């Protein structure tokens, strides 16, 4: 008898799960998504970092350098120009991560003066910077060694031409008949040539010097991480909070009792949005203060703009939560449905690692998530000191998500569920 009751209970739970199709799909979809993210999206090597190259010499050595850069999987050359200001502007605007500036004398082999190559670097992306700097240093060290070897070979040829007796052997013994004055002159010439070679070698050792200009200074990983963690925390708090606020109250019957009063959907949704917004503003201020006090984080931009961006992000994710919870019957249903959205956003939107570390398909998917734009705006304000004019695209996209989520949530909202 107990065995039969046990089977009834099992059948009941399975049927209950089968009737909640969104929860069923999410239960199987979520682990697959996480495996894919960890397998392909995390811990990858940085590739295809966009850069610009300034070629001011237009010679054979410059062409060789351009080819070497293009053959590196780390870099994706977006622009080759002779305009230094244009390349720097591309870095400042975030179009590329760095600009490699070759000097006008880069192809001049007639002088022993070292060439000064400048790496103009967007240091706000600390992880990308850690890959760009050593790779560029290695590249120009190799090129410098190559130039040095070629110059040394050229000097040896010149020395041989100036002192043929030093490299030839005379089997007939004619050299022995040379008088002392001739020998002394030959020795003096040889000594002068050796001195010339020694002085030239000093100039060859550092044929190419690399100067690194970090436009935002030395950025620590914590500086890179905190703005995105603030955004991620707001996202998780808003979306999980809306599950309790709407789906949870629907499950307990509180929402049904509320709708027995002469109250419209707009009033209910608007009230929940406003109450949630007040809570999230308070949380955002506490998080921001903790980051400043505990980690010494500095906000290079306007602190009120940073708070405003967080508020816009909070509204966006509250809207997302309303859209998902509009028709869910229980809080468990809501959680199962929302997890396949929140977890991928955490890993794909560049919170912990730059988007460039991920496969190209994940890089494209990242720009479908609002958290990507919130991260970009927060890092722009806090690290780069950006103003509204610099992050207006991110704000506009967040506003578009906000309107879409709220409209979809109100339209789909089922007060009878």
List beta partners, residue 51. Answer: 77, 98
From the list 283, 276, 277, the residue with the least C-alpha distance to 230 is 283
pTM for the whole thing? 0.69
d(C-alpha 194, C-alpha 199), whole Å: 9
Beta strand 98-102 with 49-55 is: parallel
Q: Please give the domain boundaries of the chain with CATH numbers for all domains.
A: 1-41+220-412 (no CATH), 45-149 (3.40.1710.10)
β-sheet bridge partners, residue 52: 79, 99
**Interval 261-320: pLDDT, tens:** 776 766 766 777 777 778 777 877 887 888 788 877 888 889 889 888 988 998 899 888
Which of the pair, 334 or 398, is modelled with greater confidence? 398
CA atoms within 13 A on the CB side of 66: 21
417 vs 20, 70, 138, 246, 319, CA distance in Å? Answer: 13, 59, 64, 11, 19
Between the ranges 18-22, 360-364, 402-406, where is the mean pLDDT highest?
Answer: 402-406
Query: How far is Cα 318 from Cα 321, in angstroms, rounded to an integer?
Result: 5
Per-residue pLDDT of 202-230, as tens digits, reads 444 457 888 899 988 777 778 888 888 88
pLDDT digits (tens, 9 = 90+) for 339-367: 778 877 887 888 887 777 677 788 888 89
Cα distance between residue 118 and residue 108, in whole Å: 17
Examine the pLDDT at 256 and tell me if it is beyond 80: no
Which stretch of 55-64, 188-197, 332-341 has the lowest confidence by average pLDDT? Answer: 188-197
Query: So what's the pLDDT on residue 5?
Result: 55
Q: Are 247 and 325 contacting, i.e. CB atoms less than 8 angstroms apart?
A: yes
């Amino acid at each position: 008898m107990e065995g039969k009751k046990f089977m009834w209970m099992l059948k009941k739970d399975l049927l209950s799960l089968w009737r909640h199709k969104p929860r069923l799909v999410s239960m199987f979809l979520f682990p697959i998504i996480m495996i894919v993210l960890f397998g392909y999206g995390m811990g990858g090597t940085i590739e295809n970092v966009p850069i610009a190259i300034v070629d001011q010499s237009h010679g054979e050595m410059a062409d060789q350098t351009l080819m070497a850069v293009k053959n590196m999987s780390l870099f994706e050359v977006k622009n080759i120009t002779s305009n230094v200001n244009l390349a720097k502007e591309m870095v400042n605007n975030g179009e590329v991560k760095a600009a490699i500036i070759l000097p006008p004398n880069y192809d001049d082999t007639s002088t022993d003066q070292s060439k000064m190559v400048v790496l103009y670097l967007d240091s706000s992306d600390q992880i990308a910077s850690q890959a760009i700097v050593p790779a560029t240093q290695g590249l120009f060290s190799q090129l410098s060694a190559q130039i040095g070897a070629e110059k040394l070979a050229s000097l040896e040829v010149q020395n041989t031409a100036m002192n043929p007796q030093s490299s030839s052997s005379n089997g007939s013994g004619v050299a022995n008949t040379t008088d002392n004055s001739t020998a002394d002159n030959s020795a003096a010439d040889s000594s002068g040539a050796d001195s010339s070679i020694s002085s030239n070698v000093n100039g060859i050792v550092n044929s190419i010097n690399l100067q690194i200009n970090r436009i935002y200074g030395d950025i620590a990983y914590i500086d890179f991480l905190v703005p995105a963690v603030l955004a991620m925390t707001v996202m998780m708090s808003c979306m999980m909070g809306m599950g309790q606020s709407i789906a949870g109250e629907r499950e307990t019957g509180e929402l049904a009792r509320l709708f027995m009063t002469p109250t419209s959907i707009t009033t209910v949704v608007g009230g929940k949005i406003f109450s949630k917004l007040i809570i999230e503003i308070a949380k955002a201020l506490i998080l921001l203060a903790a980051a400043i006090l505990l980690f010494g984080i500095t906000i290079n931009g306007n602190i009120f703009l940073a708070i405003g961006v967080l508020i816009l992000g909070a509204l966006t994710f509250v809207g997302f939560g309303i859209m998902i919870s509009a028709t869910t019957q229980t809080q468990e249903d809501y959680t199962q449905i929302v997890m396949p959205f929140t977890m991928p956003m955490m890993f794909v939107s560049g919170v912990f690692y730059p988007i460039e570390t991920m496969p190209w398909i994940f890089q494209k998917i990242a720009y479908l998530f609002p958290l990507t734009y919130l991260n970009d705006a927060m890092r722009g304000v806090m690290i780069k000191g950006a103003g509204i004019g610099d992050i207006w695209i991110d704000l506009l996209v967040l506003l578009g998500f906000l309107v879409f989520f709220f409209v979809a949530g109100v339209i789909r909202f089922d007060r009878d569920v």
